[in-house]
Amino acid sequence: MLSRLNLLTRHLSRSFASSHPSVPLSTPSLTPPLAPFAMTSRAKTIHTAACLVIGDEVLGGKTIDTNSPYLAKFCFSLGMQLKRVEVIPDDEEDIIEAVQRMSSRYDFVVTSGGIGPTHDDITYSSIAKAFNLKLQLHQPAFERMKRLSKPHPMQPNFDWETPSPGLNAKLRMVELPFDPKIPAEDQAVFVADDMWVPIAVVNGNVHILPGVPRLFERLLENLKPSVVPRLTDPEGKGTFRCLISTPLPESAVAPFLTELAAKVEPKGIKVGSYPRWGKKRNTVTLVGADKAFIESLVAEVEEGVQGKLVSKEDELDPPSDSEHVYSQ
């Protein structure tokens, strides 16, 4: 059976790089600062977002997912509506179904996890299959990997030019879904000079990110300059949240909040009510893009819930608050 390294040689003639001749393969071309990648006419305005967390370890309780909360804050700060978060196992059928559905329903889809070197890292292959694509070696990513990866102390004899199980494993991380009908630069992008990991973009809106939190967060932040121009508000002013602390139980403020929500809904403002178990005060929120309008509602809401505007939920909690639990 051909080794993965022999397959590498066969791939080079039809790799991402060969489909885009302007991308040089030499290492020096990777050193200049990276500019935000160009968005083509296929790039649609972003209204909604979704997150697909892939990993048996999350569902099994071994790992706590911090990437979807980070994405939620990222979307909130840009005024992007995060509409859905799902956690699914490392299962091909589950990945295919979920990514097809999310890509068809939401403008900006981010996946987290399942793109490592081991047998259970099947995100790339599953997403490729979801859109009838093949995996191809991404030569620029492979060159960056060789240049930027540090040799592991437990692999002292590793050689990039010598076929080995270790090399086979590394190649799994740079074989990406490829659509021959789309320019290569729209399908895999580098957003940080010192990182070899590309963000693979499939079907125009599915962005495949690693599950390692520090990598996920850094790649997402560096993607921001290319996302902002596609927002409904290109200035990226984001969403504004106002917190009002009330001593009343939810049952007491419910009638007022129901009327308020109906009144402000046409303005795109959402009214929320959040009980704080074990505390003396609950929280009412006003969320939306129109900061001035939300601020104009504060006095009315303070009166309606006998509350007070706060900068954080526990601002008015007395020291002994944790000793008390109140019914709603």
Domains and CATH numbers, the chain: 48-152+164-230 (3.40.980.10), 240-310 (3.30.70)
Give the single-character DSSP code of 175. Answer: E
Q: pLDDT tens digits for the chain (328 residues)?
A: 434 444 443 433 344 544 443 333 333 333 333 444 444 334 689 999 999 999 999 999 999 999 999 999 999 999 999 999 999 999 999 999 999 999 999 999 999 999 999 888 999 999 999 999 999 999 999 999 999 988 788 887 888 888 888 898 999 999 999 999 999 888 999 999 999 999 999 999 999 999 999 999 999 999 999 999 999 877 657 889 999 999 999 999 999 999 999 999 999 999 999 999 888 999 999 999 899 999 999 999 999 999 999 999 999 888 765 445 444 5
Task: Phi first, then psi: give them for residue 284, nearest 5 degrees.
Answer: -110, 135
Give the mean pLDDT of the chain: 85
Amino acid type, 136: Q
Contact 87, 113 (CB under 8 A): no
User: Which pLDDT belongs to residue 320?
Assistant: 61
For residue 146 the two structure tokens come to 């060789």
Q: What per-residue confidence (pLDDT) applies to 43?
A: 67
The answer to whether the predicted template modeling score (pTM) of the entire model surpasses 0.75 is yes
Residue 236's pLDDT is 57
Q: What's the confidence (pLDDT) of residue 2?
A: 39
- Contact criterion met (CB below 8 Å) for 23 and 140: yes
Q: Given this model, what pLDDT does residue 250 score?
A: 93
